Structures are given as structure tokens and as C-alpha cells.
């Protein structure tokens, strides 16, 4: 077997060449190995290509290994099949291997899988893609099988975060997995960035401490730093805003006779005139008083002279008349 002779009267038989075979005696020819098989010389039978190998041609002397990304699961294969997405293979593979958790392969016929990028994860094996980390979580490295939750004081507002962001000063995130920060209420603040709670502080100017928080002063009132109550704006001033630390004086043409008011009142023309008279009469009265005292002094001096003359012979009416006129 493995030989043949096609001529009559021959003294010897011939060997079948590689890629052919003859399984019986006394044959005039050799048969060809079909695709998926091969043979060496003087073969009595062809051999099937082993799993992980293939041969697409007939009369083959060897089989070819499947390249990376392909496989042949059974012997005698005439071709190799590509691995599906989510799996891979090396050379001479009889099966494909599923991508491990944390990796993926989106294409067919690949020789390796890729790690999930930062901000993504894959918990299952054999996946063709990775998933974004949910808001409130992150993945800071490649090939992750799960995302990490943002700790208290930090947040991730959008999916696919590679890191969490610390809450800024004046805000906080009380629990883990926050998607945003909460602004501290008036009168409390956070001690720097990345805080899980706010801390009560001394109330600033324009606010007062009511025992639990800081409350803004209403219009018509004001307060200084660390106040426990608001103070009425004094008369002649007004404050129309809330949370203020002072009250401005009424502008020219306006007045406010009462305390604790939010706005000044416009002066009427009569009021303005009376006020002007009152302001100007003060100076005028002072000058008039000085002049009056001077007159009185002159009159008294004349009276003294008249009395002295009265001890002399009686004065005539004509002598007393000028003095009476001055009085």
C-alpha cells in the first residue's frame, strides 16, 4: 500500500507522492488527498488537519495553522472561522476565548481584547463594549470591572467621570455618590473644599443670629458684624434694601422724621420755605438782640440824666419830650 504501477509488464511499483495515497494493493494510480487533509509520500491514507489547523487545497502535504483571531474547532477543516466580537484567539486556536471582565472587543476576528478606558467599566466577560460609570461614580484607571463611588464632599455630575470633583468652599455633599453639591445656608459655611457638611459661623453685617441661623435684616433696619438683632434706621435716614449694614442719610429735598423707615419722604414747597426761614431767622434774631440791647442802654442813660435834673428845678415838658420819644 502507498504504491502503484500504471504500466503493464513493470518489475517494480512506484511510491505515491506526498499529498496522495493508495490504500490497496495492485492499484494503477494513487488518489489525491482532499481539502482538510494532507499526506506524506508512500501514504496508504490521508490525515485530517488537526483542530486549530486547516487546508483549503487538495493534494496538500501539510496543514496550515489558523492565525490569531480565527479558529477551527474540529479536525479536517478546510478553513478557519473568525472569532465573534467579545472574544479573541491566538494562533492555532481550536476555540475562541471570551474577553475578561474589564475588557472588550467590538470587532470580529481579533487576536486580543482591549481594556475599558478610564471612566468606563465592564462587569461581565465576553463583552463587545464597556459602559460609562454612572453619575456620582468614577473610574480612574483602565480595565475596571466596576466604578468607584464618589465619597462625601465630592461629586460627579455626568456619566463617564474619570475622577470626582471636590465641592467648593461654601457648599457640601453629605453622602457618597453625589451628583452635585448643596450650597450652605446663610450663616453657615464649609471649612474649605471637599466638605460633607457646613459649619455655623458668626453672622455678617446685614444679618442677625436668631439662635439657629443668620437672618437678613429687613428694609428700614441694619446690623453690624456678629449682631443678635437688627437696629432701626435713625430719623433722617432710610434703607430700602434688606441685609444692609448701614442707613444712608436722606438726600437734599427729602426727609424722614421717623426711625425704622425704608424710604425718605419728599419735602413740600411750604415745608422747604418754613425750614429755610427757621434756619435764617436764628442768625437774624441774634443780630437784632444785640441792636436792641444797644438801644436799651442808650435809653437808660438818658433816664439817669433826667432823674438828676429832676432834683433841680422842675424840668419843662420840652426837656423831657426827647427822652420819652427814645423810650
**pTM for this model (two decimals):** 0.59
Q: What is the pLDDT of residue 202?
A: 76
Q: What is the pLDDT of residue 303?
A: 46
Mean pLDDT of each 10-residue bin along the chain, 327 residues long: 90 94 93 96 96 97 97 97 98 98 98 98 98 98 98 97 95 95 78 84 84 88 92 96 96 94 86 60 50 52 55 48 47
Q: What is the pLDDT of residue 325?
A: 46
Tell me the CATH number for domain 204-267: 2.10.50
Q: What is the pLDDT of residue 149?
A: 98
Instruction: Measure the CA–CA gap between 268 and 93, rounded to whole angstroms.
Output: 104
Contact in structure between 31 and 39 (CB atoms under 8 Å)? no
Exposure string of 10-39, with b = 16+ CB inside 10 Å and e = fewer, is eeeeeebbbbbbbeeeebeebbbbbbbbbb
Q: What is the pLDDT of residue 324?
A: 44
How many Cα atoms sit within 13 Å of 266 on the Cβ side?
A: 2
* One-letter-per-residue 3-state SS of 60-75: CCCCEECCCCEECCCC
Mapping DSSP to helix (H, G, I), strand (E, B) and coil, where does residue 99 land? coil
Show Cβ contacts of residue 194 under 8 Å, excluding neighbours closer than 6 positions: 153, 154, 166, 167
Q: What is the pLDDT of residue 21?
A: 96
Q: What is the pLDDT of residue 135?
A: 98
Domain segments of the chain: what residues?
A: 1-97, 204-267, 271-326
Amino acid at each position: 500500500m502507498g504504491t502503484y504501477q500504471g504500466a503493464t509488464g513493470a518489475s517494480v511499483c512506484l511510491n505515491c507522492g506526498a499529498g496522495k495515497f493508495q490504500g490497496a494493493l495492485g492499484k494503477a494510480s494513487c488518489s489525491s488527498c482532499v481539502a482538510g487533509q494532507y499526506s506524506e509520500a508512500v501514504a496508504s491514507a490521508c490525515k485530517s488537519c488537526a483542530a486549530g489547523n486547516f487546508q483549503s487545497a487538495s493534494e496538500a502535504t501539510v496543514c496550515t495553522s489558523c492565525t490569531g483571531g480565527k479558529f477551527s474547532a474540529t479536525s479536517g477543516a478546510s478553513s478557519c472561522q473568525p472569532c465573534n466580537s467579545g472574544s479573541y484567539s491566538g494562533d492555532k486556536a481550536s476555540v475562541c476565548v471570551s474577553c475578561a471582565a474589564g475588557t472588550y472587543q467590538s470587532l470580529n476576528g481579533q487576536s486580543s481584547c482591549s481594556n475599558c478606558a478610564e471612566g468606563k467599566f465592564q462587569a461581565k466577560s465576553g463583552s463587545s463594549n464597556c459602559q460609562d460609570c454612572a453619575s456620582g461614580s468614577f473610574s480612574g484607571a483602565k480595565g475596571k470591572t466596576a466604578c468607584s463611588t464618589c465619597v462625601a464632599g465630592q461629586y460627579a455630575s455626568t456619566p463617564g467621570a474619570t475622577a470626582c470633583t471636590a465641592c467648593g468652599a461654601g457648599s457640601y455633599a453629605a453622602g457618597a455618590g453625589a451628583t452635585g453639591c448643596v450650597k450652605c445656608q446663610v450663616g453657615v459655611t464649609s471649612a474649605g473644599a471637599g466638605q460633607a457638611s457646613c459649619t455655623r459661623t458668626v453672622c455678617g453685617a446685614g444679618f442677625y443670629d436668631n439662635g439657629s441661623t443668620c437672618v437678613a435684616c429687613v428694609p428700614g433696619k441694619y446690623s453690624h458684624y456678629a449682631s443678635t438683632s437688627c437696629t432701626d434706621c435713625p430719623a433722617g435716614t432710610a434703607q430700602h434694601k434688606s441685609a444692609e449694614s448701614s442707613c444712608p442719610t436722606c438726600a437734599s429735598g427729602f426727609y424722614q422724621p421717623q426711625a425704622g423707615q425704608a424710604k425718605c419722604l419728599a419735602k413740600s414747597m411750604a415745608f422747604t420755605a418754613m425750614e429755610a426761614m427757621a434756619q435764617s431767622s436764628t442768625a437774624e434774631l441774634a443780630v437784632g438782640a444785640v441792636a436792641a440791647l444797644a438801644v436799651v442802654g442808650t435809653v437808660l442813660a438818658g433816664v439817669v440824666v433826667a432823674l438828676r435834673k429832676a432834683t433841680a428845678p422842675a424840668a419843662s415838658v420840652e426837656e423831657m419830650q426827647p427822652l420819652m420819644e427814645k423810650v
